[in-house]
A and B are shown apart, each in its own frame.
Chain A
Amino acid sequence: MQLYRHKIWTSIFCLFLVSLSLFLFTACEKEIDLNIKSNPNEIIVEGHIENGLPPYVILTKSISLYDNININNLENYFVHGANIIVSNGIDSVQLVEYNSSILQTLPDSVVDAVAAQFGIVVDSSGDFPDVSIYTVPFTAPDFIGEIGKTYQLRIEANGQILTSSTTIPAPVFFDSLWILPHPNPAFADSFFQVYGWLQDPPQLGNYYRYFTKVDNGPLLVSTQTVFDDNFFNGKKFEIFIPKGKPFGTNSSDINFDTDGYWDIADSVCTIKLCQIDKAHYDFWRTLEANRANIGNPFGSFVLVKSNIIGGKGVWGGYGSITGSYVRVP
């Protein structure tokens, strides 16, 4: 969001000084062999519940830093056979593990939501990578997220017990959405910007996360996906909405001229704006800092703040509203 461009500027400043020093002093880089002990195989939880959608949980294991992992070798990465219970204080449901072959049998809305977790779109062929996901069984299709409720999570896996709790806050959406050309005339023919008017609720303590989607593509996130209202509590203001990047985009592949701008071919620009609770927000905020500090000599490491007791990762509720700007070519 535009407010957060100062961070980009700060990075420019740091980049400048770094490059200045590197230029002045012709820094030298070379590969080294770090002999570092690692303790992989910690359980990582990625679970969500959203208004109108059933809960789902992806359970994975951490791996050694220099091991290769990608969409083609996922089989040993997932944690199978976990016993997972989600409860809203009155009702509870035991989640069932689905692998890619039976995912296609689930309702479309669930498949889409699951696919979004992996940043992909399930087309008619229904090809899913070799993933595993836990969600509600067919017998309890009515267990869906409701605004204002708190959801408990309990996981038993590999002899460990992990617990957490999250809420679905009341959602807020933009009053209006509009577009502007790319500020640099050189790019104005191929890219545009999307803006929205946002009225922040009067009470301090609103935490936002947003996704974007082009036409029928997957819901994607940008580099910085969360913000809070500390700086603009209760205000109404215009906000730049950067387009999300495909999952797995390497930060070094980002083109600063076009990053966040929408392509001239994009017709339906969809934005999902979610309200999340503080612990959920802290997870994303620290995760984004954790990612940003990879390779940053001046930033120190940031440990991701998890809301999972007994493990790592997140159990996060989304109170969402989705809207679109339809561009007439």
Chain B
Amino acid sequence: MKTAVYLVFLDTFTSFMSRRLLLLIACLCLFLPIHAQNETFTLSGFLKDAQNGEALIGANVYVQGNTALGATTNLYGFYSLSLPKGDYQIAFSYIGYATQVQTISLNKDIRQNIELSDNTKALDEVVITDERKDENVKSTTMGKEELSIDRIKSIPALMGEVDIIKALQLMPGVQAAGEGNSGIYVRGGGPDQNLVLLDDAIVYNTGHLFGFFSVFNADAVKNTTLYKGAMPANYGGRLSSVIDIQMKEGNNKRFEMEGGIGIISSRLTIMAPFKKSKSKKTAKGSFLFSGRRTYLFDIIQPLLKKTDFAGTNYFFYDINLKANYQFSDKDRLYVSGYFGRDVFVYNSTKNQTNVKIPWGNATATVRYNHLFNDKLFMNATFVFNDYNFSFSGKQLDFSFRAKSGVRDFNTKIDLDYYLNSKHNLKFGMVYTHHRMTPTQASATSGTTDFESNINRRYSHELAWYASDEFKVNEKLKLDFGFRLSMFQHIGPYGKISGDNIAGFDTVFYKRGKPIKTYFGPEPRFAMRYAFGKNNSIKAGIALNYQYIHLVSSSNSTLPTDVWVQSSAIVKPQMALQYSVGYFRNFKEDMFETSIEVYFKHLWNQIEYGESYVGELNIDPELGYVFGKGKAYGAEFFIKKRTGKLNGWIGYTISRSDRKFKDLNEGKVFVAKYDRTHDLSINIAYNINKEWSVGATFVYATGNAITPANTLSLIEFNPMIGYSERNSYRVPAYHRMDLSLTYTPIPKRRPNRRWHSSYNFSIYNVYNRKNTYFIYNKIEGSTLTGDLKQTPINVSLFPVIPSFTWNFKF
């Protein structure tokens, strides 16, 4: 019955695909019943950090005593609140900052820019307060997780490398891709189903060194938000989640420097204002520069110098840059960029071999904010991003080169229209031009050249969206959204058709010529019903389309994995998610609790065929197989927000399975993203102003793997047969980490600007030997008669202590 309902629902939308639909949506958004009110005025402005002028994202502005009358700042710190004429006590509050309350007589439109002070500085006692006290109960958003950078920094980290993505793994519904891995699986979806944005630029590969470290340098990051439920209509293009990361803007008040030295890398971040006018405390603009580099292998270079491997090295680095300038109270420009590379060099004089493999991301974002009036805010964005993997090797007169990557140009317009205190509209459009480079190889052997001729692929991706956050009354809040996406594979593209019996033929499409077009109507709906003092029920439904895919044959994501776009063969992935949750706060919002249940249908999921072997010059899409999936689960969350002891416990019970005609003989199998149980506990305890400790414990059901089970001999060498797909579970994963942070307060000059802090952390405290992979060790041979296979469990990280020194100036 349920199946029938959503099929009808889907059908309606797909058959409705036309301008009519757009019109309907526009009408829905613009002509929803709007209650006429006598004389309303608008209070609007920007919320900023008092210390450095950073915009505060997602801060709350609300009428004291009536939280239903409130607004939230957008990504640029702008808020707009329309209220009937009158006198109000308006509260301005933000994560980790002291709340300000101002009395405002609203008898005309008022522009009020507010600067909030960091709690830790404003108050004598170290208290971490996250978000608006009852935010989790009062917002419509479900499956949204926000973590402040300060809180992330208090989590014990592998080798002392603070990692935003690994912090998100501690949230319910979010699973780590593997031991020490910064890849994530959200609610049973694959790693390519997460939209990772850094200042609006898509980051295609989020990991360094096999994903052991994420590419995000925490020192350069201001804010991280994860949406895993019904994502707002302004996001799209991925099925499972959005991880929206905003870089710091710089400091428009004074020069600031921070950094750290750890066991594998060092970091330095500089923030400063542009030239200040003498009369003002605040400059019109500021900039940030942040860099990080590893040096483990640089240290051993002298040792390698005299060996055959001189010059062999591995390192990675990240550079973040950002600048902003305020032209007027209504116009502001942001320019930001990221550049990161992993570089591997292998030299062997003995074999006269030389290999160089660099890979990494580059992004550049230009954003222009304009305030048309007190109610209409616009942001125009232009983004360039690029992910590149290249390989070059040379041995004697033979050389080999290969490369792959993605390059996008993206532009979008987002408009926030704060219609009145009941309606907050958002609409906009986004266009992306993709260029996908599959693995292209070329080789030179002596005087002969070889070139693979797999074509680059080009496409347009376009989406329009509109949403309305509608506060019906104090109890009921509705969030309607609709996104219409379009994807078009375009020329130039040449395709070989036929086979070696009928003969081959090449079809060629000219530049810009449409080859295949897809449309995706994506309705989104969320609601909240509040009752009692601190209770609410929320529900959401969302349909998402995904047009570009990463199909990986291995369990972790590798730099060689290639993003592919939809085509005539590869159809867009699709997901429909329903979720319901109950939220409740206790003890004056000291404790937050929630239970969320979700059910997700997945269509056009992609995997490699069971006999797939990658080959140069053969389009990998010919090796794909397609199927559908289901993911469902329940997430339990309890968080203590305040006090010296704070932290959370998240537990998820879930299942994610797939059914492919061409895999596992057509039978249902559990996805590799499936974890039955997943428990995360994170605790921070601030002993006093100088000392604090942190602890993390995680437990998860072991990965599902496909074990080998039979042996036969062909030419007296083994041929291995396998059990049913993902039919074996490796032992459960669990681990505990601890950290101790000492931030001395200088006794003589407690107010001096130089601050040092020392972090000592231990990863995997009780040295749990978690399974990294299992392989069959083969000894002996069939000829000598002593062939023996033994399954071996390999575990990676033993107990690892690390030490990091951080400073701030």
The segment out of B45-53, B272-280, B512-520, B608-616 that lies at the interface is B608-616
Q: Are A231 and B452 in contact (CB under 8 A)?
A: yes
The stretch among A11-19, A86-94, A95-103, A140-148 that forms the contact with chain B is A11-19
Q: Are B352 and A238 in contact (CB under 8 A)?
A: no
Interface size class for chain B? 35 or more
B445 and A37 contact, CB distance less than 8 A: no
Q: Which of A20-28, A266-274, A318-326 lies on the face that meets chain B?
A: A20-28
Which A residues, 48 to 86, have Cβ-Cβ distances below 8 Å to chain B?
60-73, 77
Interface residues of B in 731-757 (CB under 8 A from A): none
Shortest CB-to-CB span from A167 to chain B, Å, is: 10
Q: Is B775 a contact partner of A294 (Cβ separation < 8 A)?
A: yes
Question: A243 at the A/B interface (Cβ < 8 Å)?
Answer: no
Contact yes or no, B721 A42, CB < 8 A: yes
Cα A62 to Cα B788 in complex, Å, equals: 16
A303/B351 contact (C-beta < 8 A), A5-B398, A65-B789, A183-B396 known: no
- For residue B39, CB closer than 8 A to chain A, the reply is no
Fill in one digit per residue for A280-311: 1 if any B CB lies within 8 Å of its CB, else 0.
00100111011100111111111111000000
Q: A183-B395, A231-B616, A314-B714 are in contact. Are A305 and B504 (CB under 8 A)?
A: no
The answer to whether A302 and B613 touch (CB under 8 A), given A38-B723, A70-B787, A117-B715, is yes
Interface centre among A39, A60, A295 (most CB of B within 10 A): A295
* Segment at the interface with B among A105-113, A153-161, A171-179, A247-255: A247-255
Scan residues 406-432 of chain B and give those whose CB is less than 8 A from a CB of chain A.
Answer: none
Given known A-B contacts A16-B346, A231-B441, A232-B450, A32 and B791 have beta carbons under 8 A apart:
yes
- Pair B445/A3 contact, Cβ less than 8 Å: yes
Q: Which residues of B contact A32 (CB under 8 A)?
A: 774, 791-793
The answer for the CA separation of A73 and B785 in the assembled complex, in Å, is 8
- Per the bound structure, the CA–CA distance linking A299 and B30 in Å amounts to 53
Nearest CB on A from B702, distance (A): 12
In the complex the two chains form, what is the Cα distance from A289 to B722 in whole Å? 14
A303 and B610 contact, CB distance less than 8 A: yes
| B686-718 interface code vs A (CB 8 A; 1 in, 0 out) | 000000000000000000001111111111111
Query: What are the residues of chain B within 8 A of A26 when measuring CB–CB?
Result: 798
Contacting residue for B504 out of A63, A77, A204, CB 8 A? A204
CB B98 to nearest CB in A, in angstroms, measures 43
Q: Residue of A at shortest CB range from B180? A: A25
User: In the complex, what distance in Å separates the CA atom of A65 from the CA atom of B554?
Assistant: 22
Instruction: Give the complex CA separation of A161 and B441 in angstroms.
Output: 44
Interface residues of A in 207-252 (CB under 8 A from B): 221, 228, 230-232, 235-239, 246-252
A95 to B561, CA, bound (A): 48
Task: State whether B445 touches A238 (Cβ < 8 A).
Answer: yes
Are A249 and B781 closer than 8 Å at their CB atoms? yes
Q: Are B720 and A291 in contact (CB under 8 A)?
A: yes
How long is the Cα–Cα vector from A16 to B500 in the complex, in angstroms? 39
Q: What's the minimum C-beta distance from B583 to chain A, rounded to whole angstroms?
A: 40
Q: Complex: how many Å from CA A252 to CA B778?
A: 8
Q: Give every chain A residue within 8 A of B786 (Cβ-Cβ).
A: 70
Is there contact, CB below 8 Å, between B718 and A291?
Answer: yes
* Chain A residues whose CB sits within 8 angstroms of the CB of B710 once the complex forms: 38-40, 42, 62-65
A230 to B622: give the CA distance in the assembly, Å.
14
B794 engages A297 (CB within 8 Å): yes
- A62-B721, A305-B611 given as contacts; is B709 within 8 A of A248 (CB)? no
B712 near A63 (CB under 8 angstroms)? Answer: yes
User: Does B261 sit within 8 A of A, measured CB to CB?
Assistant: no
A42–B212 Cα distance when bound, in Å, is: 41
B695 to chain A, nearest CB (A): 21
Contacts of A24 in B (CB 8 A): 296
Alpha-carbon distance A116/B180, docked complex (angstroms): 48
* Contact present for A297 and B773 (CB under 8 Å): yes
**A184 in the interface (beta carbon within 8 A):** yes
CB of B555 closer than 8 Å to a CB of A: yes
Whole-angstrom distance between the alpha carbons of A253 and B777 in the complex?
12
Complex: how many Å from CA A171 to CA B504? 21
Is B785 within 8 A of A38, CB to CB? Answer: no
Complexed CA–CA distance, A205 and B611 (Å): 19
A262 to chain B: closest CB distance in Å?
17
Q: Is the CB of B716 within 8 A of A247?
A: yes
| B772 contacts A303, C-beta separation under 8 Å | no
A27 touches B794 (CB 8 A): yes
Min distance, Cβ A201 to any Cβ of chain B, angstroms: 11
Q: Which residue of B lies closest to A195 (CB)?
A: B446
A12 touching B773 in the complex, CB below 8 Å, given contacts A42-B721, A290-B719: no
Instruction: State whether B720 touches A290 (Cβ < 8 A).
Output: yes
Contacts of B296 in A (CB 8 A): 24
CA distance A22 to B210 in the complex (A): 13
Give the residues in chain B near A183, CB-CB below 8 Å.
351-352, 395-396
What chain B residues lie within 8 Å of A298 (beta carbons)? 554-556, 558
Alpha-carbon distance between A159 and B610 when the two chains are bound, in angstroms:
28
Q: Are A2 and B398 in contact (CB under 8 A)?
A: yes
- CB of A295 within 8 A of CB of B777, answer yes
- Which single residue of chain A is at the shortest CB-CB distance from B763? A25
Of the candidates A6, A21, A239, A302, which one forms a contact with B400 in the assembled complex, judged by CB atoms under 8 Å apart? A6
- Residue on B nearest A232 in the bound complex, by CB: B450
Bound CA–CA A61/B719 (angstroms): 12
Residues of B within 8 A of A13 (CB): 344, 346, 355, 357, 391
Q: Mark B575-619, 1 if CB is under 8 A from A, else 0.
A: 000000000000000000000000000000000101111011110
Q: How far is the CA of A285 from the CA of B618 in the complex (A)?
A: 14
Q: Which of B130-165 contact A (CB under 8 A)?
A: none
Flag if B796 contacts A44 (CB, 8 Å). Answer: no
Known contacts being A44-B714, A282-B611, A314-B714, is A294 close to B395, with CB within 8 Å?
A: no
Decide if B402 is an interface residue (CB 8 Å cutoff): yes
Q: Take A6-B402, A70-B787, A117-B715 as given contacts and tell me if A231 and B709 are in contact as well, using a CB distance cutoff of 8 Å.
A: no
**Residue of A28, A301, A305, A314 ringed by the most chain B CB atoms within 10 A:** A301
Residues of chain A within 8 A of B560, CB atoms compared: 10
A34 lies within 8 A of B504 (CB): no
Q: Tell me, in angstroms, the Cα distance from A296 to B774 when the chains sit together.
A: 9
User: Is there an interface contact between A28 and B713, defined as CB atoms closer than 8 Å?
Assistant: no
Confirm or deny: A328 has a beta carbon within 8 angstroms of a beta carbon on chain B.
no
Report yes or no: B796 in contact with A30, Cβ–Cβ below 8 A: no
Contact of B709 among A17, A39, A221 (CB under 8 A): A39
User: A294 and B714: CB pair below 8 A?
Assistant: no
Q: Once the chains are docked, how many angstroms separate the CA of A38 from the CA of B500?
A: 38
Within 8 A of B (CB), among A103-131: 117-119
Q: How far is the CA of A297 from the CA of B792 in the complex (A)?
A: 11
In the assembled complex, A9 has its CB within 8 A of some CB on chain B: yes
CB pair A205 B712 closer than 8 Å: no
**Cβ of B18 under 8 Å from chain A:** no
Q: Does B393 contact A6, Cβ atoms closer than 8 Å?
A: yes
For residue B209, CB closer than 8 A to chain A, the reply is yes
Contact A231 B718 (CB under 8 A): no
- Chain A residues with CB under 8 A of B398: 2, 5
Check: A313 CB closer than 8 A to any chain B CB. yes
| Residue in B503, B719, B779, B784 whose CB lies within 8 Å of A287 | B719
A204 and B500 contact, CB distance less than 8 A: yes
Which A residues lie at the B interface, using CB under 8 A?
2-3, 5-6, 9-10, 12-13, 16-17, 20-22, 24-34, 36-40, 42, 44, 46, 60-73, 77, 117-119, 183-184, 186, 203-205, 221, 228, 230-232, 235-239, 246-253, 257, 278, 282, 285-287, 289-291, 294-305, 312-314
* A–B complex contacts, Cβ < 8 Å, 22 sampled: A9-B393, A21-B210, A29-B795, A31-B792, A32-B774, A34-B791, A65-B776, A66-B789, A69-B787, A70-B781, A71-B785, A119-B783, A183-B351, A204-B500, A230-B616, A247-B716, A248-B781, A291-B718, A294-B720, A297-B555, A298-B555, A303-B722
For the complex of A and B, list the 10 residue pairs with the smallest distance between their C-beta atoms, beginning with the closest: A205-B500, A295-B775, A38-B709, A247-B716, A248-B783, A297-B773, A70-B785, A248-B782, A305-B611, A62-B712
Q: A27-B794, A297-B773 are in contact. List 12 more A-B contacts (CB 8 A).
A: A12-B346, A13-B346, A17-B209, A32-B792, A60-B712, A204-B500, A290-B720, A291-B720, A294-B708, A294-B718, A298-B554, A302-B613
